[in-house]
Amino acid sequence: MPELPEVETIRHDLDREISGRKIKLVEVTGTRSVRRGTKKQFIERLQGTKITGAKRRGKFLLITLDSKEWLVVHLRMSGQLLLAPAKEAKPKHTHVVITFQQGGQMRFVDPRTFGELFVVSPDSLATEAPELTELGFDPVDDPISWIKFGHLLLAKRMRLKEFLTDQSIVAGIGNIYSDEILHAAGLRYDRTSDSLSPQEMRRLYRSMVEVLNEAIKARGSSLADEQYVDVHGKVGAFQEQHQVYAREGLPCARCRATIERTKWQGRSTFYCPQCQV
């Protein structure tokens, strides 16, 4: 489900709304959402700690604790973090419930159960959560210069979509935003990264930063199934600005050619066959 803009929307709201709250009770049901270490350890490392803030690295959400540890959440395809009063009925597929001393709960809801929560000490990431240390640069939080970005493009001989969605190069971009970024840049998904002119590299870089930031302003993209919602269950609005994603058969806003859909590397890919070259 969520890519960088959706995770950033959740991070922003959590940072504002649960910082300072103390964890009274942690309940884990089901076996898949907490799968690193035991449930008991997970619960013990959280109960009694106070939340100090919420950070993000790529698509990982890091909820920081006064114990100096992090509660790390990855939503994968269908995970949601929802804030609600304890008395409110829990949605189907609620797997983890965190109750705060000051009242209210944070629920982790995830129909497909690909999502994951775990607690780590930032000092032992290399052994406890190596995937967090293997992330590339964050295009919103930690944008590198376009020159450096160009060097990365030249160093890899990858198709552009593969390049943008490789979390070890750029952290946070997935299937929706790679298609939107490439359309904004006027580049095809299957161009090789080392074939770009300096002007095209600059255009790709600028499109990446702009599309992601615009999407954050619109509080992310919710598709027809509304699987992505913010911490209050509200949908995002960036889908209204999508230029290609899920728009096959519709005219391209830039050149009026018909948007095409293809299966590429196992994923649906949407692009304009005329103005993306």
| Catalytic annotation, residues | 2-3, 59, 267
Q: How many CB atoms lie within 10 A of CB 81?
A: 28
The footprint of DNA on residues 131-150 (CB under 7 A) is: 131
2 counts as binding DNA under rule CB under 7 A:
yes
Segment near DNA (CB under 7 A), from 16-24, 97-105, 120-128, 157-165?
A: 157-165
Closest CA to 1 of 50, 47, 49, 61: 61
Smallest separation, CB 65 to DNA (Å): 23
- Number of shown-chain residues binding DNA (CB under 7 A): 37
> What letter would DSSP give residue 213?
H
Report whether 121 contacts 128 (CB < 8 A). Answer: yes
- The piece of 9-17, 100-108, 120-128, 264-272 that touches DNA (CB under 7 A) is 264-272
Q: Residue 68, interface with DNA (CB under 7 A)?
A: no
Contacts of 256 by beta carbon, 8 Å cutoff, 6+ apart: none
Binding status of residue 87 toward DNA by CB under 7 A: no
| Contact predicate 68/122, CB 8 Å | yes
Cα separation, 234 vs 229, whole angstroms: 5
Which window, 61-69, 106-114, 143-151, 202-210, contacts DNA (CB under 7 A)?
Answer: 106-114
CB of 77 to DNA, least distance (A): 5
Residue 46's alpha-carbon distances to 14, 67, 85, 126, in angstroms, are: 16, 9, 19, 21
Closer to DNA at the Cβ: 84 or 229?
229
Q: How far apart are CA 164 and CA 98, in angstroms?
A: 34
Residue 174 corresponds to which amino acid?
A: G
Q: Least separation, in Å, of the C-beta of 119 and DNA?
A: 17
| Residues engaged in binding DNA (CB under 7 A) | 1-3, 32, 58-59, 74, 76-78, 92-93, 111-114, 131, 157-158, 165, 167, 174-176, 221-228, 239, 263, 266-268
